[in-house]
Structure 1
Amino acid sequence: MSESIRTATAEPQRGSLIPLRTYEPPQVSERAEHRRERYRRRAVAQRREIRQARAAADLDPDGKDGFAKPSRRVWCGRARTFGSVAVKVRHDEGGSHAHFSGVQHCGSVWACPVCAPIIRRERADEITEGARRHIAMGGGIAMVTFTIRHSRADGLSDSMQVLADAYSDMSRSRAFRGWKAERGMIGHITSTEITYGVNGWHPHRHVLMLFSRPVSHEQERVLQGELFAMWSHAVERSGGETVSREAFDVRAVTSGEEQVASYVTKTVKGVEGIGKEVSLADVKAGRASGSINPFQLLDVETLDAERLWNEYADATKGRSAIRWSRGLRDALGMGREKTDQEIVDEMERIGEIQLLIAPSLFNRSVRSYRSACLILEAAERGDYGYIRRTLGGSGYTITLPDGHTVAMMCDYMTEAA
C-alpha cells in the first residue's frame, strides 16, 4: 500500500465520527456560498411542492399518510436508481468547483434554483455569441422591453396570457410585418422575465430585434414611437392596458459601447452584456425598488410567500422562457439549439471524478441540502478525512491527487486495481 494511502487512512476510527450538523469549514468561498443558497432554495421549493400536491389530494400537507404525486422537480438532486453518484471537480481561474454527477436533474428553467442558472447561463452565452456574429456581419440590434400595466389584483397566469397574446397579435399584424420589411428586421430573440413588487406580478418580455443595418442611438426615439403605437394597439385588443410611452424601453446595442443600457449589470460591458441581460432575468435581484425575483420568495417562510411561489410555479409550467425566431440560428451559424434538459445533463461530463458514492449511501447520508454542499466543499479542498467521517466505512471510492484510487468497502481502504 502506498504512502499516500496510508496517510489517507490515518483518520479518526469508528466511534469518533463528527456529526454533520456540527461541522463548519473555517472559510467558505463566495462560489460555495452561492451554491448553498441555490441548494437551500431548491429544498424549500421541493417542500412547498410536496405540501401543495398533498393538499390538492385532500391529504394533510405536512402529514406522512397517503401519497400525492408531485412533479419531477421534487426528485431533482437525488441519486438515480442505477449507477454510482460521482463527485466531479473542475479547475478554472476561480479555483476548484465540484458538482454531483449521476443524480436526477429536473431541467426546469423557471422553478428550479439549481437547474435554472445552468440553463440560463448557457443561453446567455449563445445569445452573446449570436449578437457578436450579427454585428460582425454589419447588422444592428435594438433591445426592446414589452410590458403591460399591472396591479396586485392581477393573477400571474392571466397577466402572462395577456402579454403573450398581445405580442403574438402585434407580430402577426399587417402593420408590424410592413414595419419589419421597411426597417430590415431579420429576426428576434425573446425572453420572458417575471418579478414581484408593490404592484403585484410584473411579467414582461425582453426582445432583441436584429436588423440588417446598424441601429444608432439617434434612432432609438423613432423606433420607440413606432413600436409603442403597435404594441399599445395589440395590448388593448388582448384585453390589457399598456404602460406609458416613457416606460416603454428601446435601446440600441452597438459593439464596444461602455454599457448596453442603464439596467445592465455594472460588471457587464457592451455586447458581452446582452446575453446575460436577456437570459438571466429570473436569477437576478429585481431592479425596481421593492421588486424581487421569484427565487427570492424561497427566502421567506410565510404563507404568503409560499402561496406566491406556488402561483409562479403553476403559471410558468410548460411555457418557454427564451425563444429564437425561426431560421435565425441557422442564419447566424449557431447550429441546433439544445433542450434545457440536454444543457443540465451535459454538466455531468465536466470535471474529473474524485469520489464515487453508492446510490443507497448517497440518499441516506447526503439527503439534506447542507450535507450535499459540505461534501462538495470537502472535495474542492481535498479534505478526504471529512468525507470519511461523513460517509462512514463503506459504499464509496476516493481518487487521491496522485491518481491512486481507494475503495471503502468495509472499515478499511483498499487500493483498487
Structure 2
Amino acid sequence: MDPASGVIVAQTAAGTAVVLGLMRCGRIWLCPVCAATIRHKRAEEITTAVVEWIRRGGIAYLVTFTARHGHTDRLADLMDALQGTRKTPDTPRRPGAYQRLITGGTWAGRPDRDQDGIRDRIGYIGMIRATEVTVGQVNGWHPHIHAIVLVGGLTTGQRAEREVVGVFDPSETSLEEWQTHWRAVWAAALRKVNPDFTPDDRHGVDFKRLETERDAHDLGEYIAKTQDGKAPALELARADLKTAAHGNVTPFELLGRIGDLTGGMTEDDATGVGSLEWNLARWHEYERATKGRRAIEWTRYLRLMLGMDGGDTEADDLDLLLGADADGGELRAGVTVTEDGWTAVTRRALDLAAIQAAEGKDGNLDPAAVGERVSEVLAAAGAANKIVVLTPAEVAEAYALMLESLALRREEAAFRRRREHEDHHTDIEVIGSLDMDTAT
C-alpha cells in the first residue's frame, strides 16, 4: 500500500501471523484469497442479524430462487433475468425477477385506497440476498439466489427513519398467501424474459422457516464450521467453500482445474471436470457476467433497523479485509520487509513460507526468533538484507498506525453510507414507486 513503508510480517498474541501493508483486490467473485475473508465476515454479519431477529421474537425464512436452464444458455442472460440488467451509458437498468418480488400493489398495498399489502400482513422488514453460480457440462450455467427474509415485524416511519417497534406472529393464511404470491411473480417474471427460463412450481422458489431459539444458537455454532448446506448464513455467504452437486462445479473449482492442467497434471488426475479449453471458456464467461454485480446485498435500511453498521459495496468489502487484519489482536513480534524484498519473496512463491515462519509454531515467540525465522526465508529469496526486526514497541507503533488508517477508512465509509441513505433513488425504490395501482 505504501512502497516507502514496505510490508510488515507480524505475529499476534495468539501465535498467528498477519501481513500488513499489502493491497487487496477485494474481488469477491474472482479472487479466492479475498473472497474467503470477505465471505467469512459477511457470514458472521448475517448470522448476527438473524440470531438477533429470532431472539427478538421475529421469524426468518431461507428462500432459494432458481430458473430453468440448459447448456446453451448464456450466464449473462440468466443473471439478467434473475438480478436485472446493469445500467450502461446507452441503456437504462431493467429489473429482474428478484426486484419484481417486492413491487406492485398486491405486495406493497395501495395507500391511496387505505389497503394493506402482503408485506404488511406478514410484517416484512427486509432480506439479505446472495447470488451463487455453478456450471455443468450437461445442464450449463446454474445461477440461483439464496435470501434470508425477515418477517413478523411491526414498523413505523419510512426509508432511513423506519424503525421496528415490535414483533408479531403472522397468520398461516398470510404466510401461505405470501409464498404463493412470490412463486407466481417469480415464474411470471422469468417467463416474460424468456419462456425457457420458467421454472416448475416445485423448483422455482423454496421456503425453509427458522423460528426457534435453537435455530438462533445453531446459526452461531455453524458459523465456525465448514459449509455443510445446513447453516442459512453460510448458505448465503460462503460460496467459496462449496462443492457443487449433480456434476456441476463452482467457479473456483473451474479455476482450480485450470491451475492443475496448466501445471502439468493430466485430465484424469486434476480436480473438476472438462478440458482446459472448456474450463477457460467458462471462467472467462463468468468474469464477464459477474462484472459490476453484487454477490451479497441487504435490503436498504435493513441494517439500520437492526442496529447494525456496514454496507454492500466493493469499498465495504475492502473495509472488511482491513478489519480482518485488525482482528488478530495484539501484535508482539514482527519484521519489516522492503518493497523490493517482498517482491523477491513473492517472485519465488515464498510469501506463505514467510507467514508461516512468523507464526511461532516451534513455540519460540521471542521477537528475535521470529525475525531469525523470517530472515531465513528472505535469504532463500536472495533478499537477506531487506528485512528489519521490530521490537515489541515498534510492532505496537506499526499496529497503531494501521488502526489509525483503518479508522479513517471506516469514517469515510460511514460518511459514504450516510450520503447513500439520503439518496432515496435506489434501484429497488425506483421500481417500488412504479404505478401502485398495477397489481402483480
Q: Does the TM-score normalized on the shorter chain lie above 0.5?
A: yes
Q: 1:332 to 1:161 in 2, by over 3 A?
A: same
Q: What CA distance in whole angstroms lies between the structure 2 residues aligned with 1:209 and 1:200?
A: 29
Distance apart, 1:219 and its partner CA: 9.2
* 1:126 matched residue in structure 2: 45
**1:171 lines up with 2:102 in the alignment:** yes
* 1:291 matched residue in structure 2: 248
Distance apart, 1:115 and its partner CA: 0.7
Alignment of 1:380-395 (within 5 A): 380-381=359-360, 382=370, 383-384=373-374, 386-391=376-381, 392-395=383-386
**1:158 lines up with 2:73 in the alignment:** no
Distance apart, 1:207 and its partner CA: 1.1
Distance apart, 1:304 and its partner CA: 1.7
**1:106 lines up with 2:25 in the alignment:** yes
Distance apart, 1:246 and its partner CA: 2.1
Query: Aligned with 1:245: secondary structure?
Result: coil
Query: Aligned with 2:188: secondary structure?
Result: helix
Q: What CA distance in whole angstroms lies between the structure 2 residues aligned with 1:216 and 1:252?
A: 14
Q: What CA distance in whole angstroms lies between the structure 2 residues aligned with 1:280 and 1:398?
A: 37
* 1:372 matched residue in structure 2: 351
**How many corresponding residue pairs?**
318
2:278 to 284, 299, 304: 304
Q: What CA distance in whole angstroms lies between the structure 1 residues aligned with 2:172 and 2:257?
A: 42
Q: 1:244 to 1:259 in 2, by over 3 A?
A: farther
Whether the aligned pair in 1 keeps the contact of 2:44 and 2:223 (CA below 8 Å) is no
Which 5+ residue runs of structure 2 have no aligned equivalent? 84-95, 109-116, 153-167, 259-275, 361-369, 396-440
Distance apart, 1:182 and its partner CA: 2.1
Alignment of 1:51-70 (within 5 A): none
Structure 2 letter corresponding to 1:348: D
Q: What CA distance in whole angstroms lies between the structure 1 residues aligned with 2:175 and 2:104?
A: 22
Q: 1:155 to 1:229 in 2, by over 3 A?
A: same
Query: Aligned with 1:99: secondary structure?
Result: strand
Alignment of 1:266-281 (within 5 A): 267=225, 273-281=231-239
Q: 1:216 to 1:128 in 2, by over 3 A?
A: farther
Post-superposition CA distance 1:2-50 (Å, at most 9, x none): xxxxxxxxxxxxxxxxxxxxxxxxxxxxxxxxxxxxxxxxxxxxxxxxx
Query: Aligned with 1:203: secondary structure?
Result: strand
Higher deviation after alignment, 287-296 or 153-162: 287-296
Higher deviation after alignment, 373-382 or 343-352: 343-352
2:7 to 85, 88, 93: 85
Q: What CA distance in whole angstroms lies between the structure 2 residues aligned with 1:266 and 1:84?
A: 33
Whether the aligned pair in 1 keeps the contact of 2:375 and 2:384 (CA below 8 Å) is no
Distance apart, 1:378 and its partner CA: 1.6
CA RMSD of aligned residues (A): 3.2
Post-superposition CA distance 1:194-240 (Å, at most 9, x none): 11123111111111111114579999877543421221112112325
Post-superposition CA distance 1:318-352 (Å, at most 9, x none): 11111111221111101243711111123333442
Whether the aligned pair in 2 keeps the contact of 1:90 and 1:350 (CA below 8 Å) is no
**1:361 lines up with 2:341 in the alignment:** yes
Which 5+ residue runs of structure 1 have no aligned equivalent? 1-78, 406-417
**1:207 lines up with 2:207 in the alignment:** no
Q: What CA distance in whole angstroms lies between the structure 1 residues aligned with 2:207 and 2:127?
A: 14
Whether the aligned pair in 2 keeps the contact of 1:141 and 1:214 (CA below 8 Å) is no
User: What's the TM-score, normalizing by structure 2?
Assistant: 0.65
Whether the aligned pair in 2 keeps the contact of 1:166 and 1:237 (CA below 8 Å) is no
* 1:397 matched residue in structure 2: 388
Q: 1:265 to 1:235 in 2, by over 3 A?
A: farther
Q: What CA distance in whole angstroms lies between the structure 2 residues aligned with 1:395 and 1:362?
A: 8
Query: Aligned with 1:229: secondary structure?
Result: helix
**1:325 lines up with 2:247 in the alignment:** no
User: What's the TM-score, normalizing by structure 1?
Assistant: 0.68
Q: What CA distance in whole angstroms lies between the structure 1 residues aligned with 2:347 and 2:379?
A: 16
Q: What CA distance in whole angstroms lies between the structure 2 residues aligned with 1:312 and 1:149?
A: 18
**1:246 lines up with 2:202 in the alignment:** yes
Q: 1:258 to 1:181 in 2, by over 3 A?
A: closer
